[in-house]
Amino acid sequence: MKIGEKIVCIDTSTRINYEKRMICEGTSLRKNEIYTSSGCFIDEDGDEVVLVLELNYPYLSDRFRRLDYKFVNNVLKDIQKSVLEETIKININ
């Protein structure tokens, strides 16, 4: 994951080593929340870790996926269409 890349949390399950550190830091991940990668590295156990800018904390990278901008744009278009249809219904009635 690149610095500045938007990532989505897909896994908030408890992981003992990282969970203990997370509790000490007072940070927590929220599933489906969009975060920003501020770097990546391989930890002492050989796991890929991503630094999460908003939480100023490292997490295992498999907790995230890259933000799919095409998917997001399609969702936004669907929402806009639904809002427009509801507005038209309200104005007609």
Tens of pLDDT, residues 32-74: 899 999 999 998 878 888 999 998 888 889 999 998 888 778 8
Domain with 36 in it: 6-67
% of the chain exceeding 90 in pLDDT: 25
Domain count, the chain: 1
Look at 80 and 23; give whichever has higher pLDDT: 80
Is residue 83, in this structure, part of any structural domain at all? Answer: no
Look at 19 and 33; give whichever has higher pLDDT: 33
Is residue 35, in this structure, part of any structural domain at all? Answer: yes
CA distance 22 to 25: 5
What is the per-residue burial (b if ≥16 Cβ within 10 Å, else e) of 73-84? eeeeeeeeeeee
Is residue 58, in this structure, part of any structural domain at all? Answer: yes
Look at 64 and 17; give whichever has higher pLDDT: 64
CA distance 52 to 61: 10
pLDDT at 13: 79
- Evaluate whether 52 touches 35 at the Cβ level (below 8 Å): yes
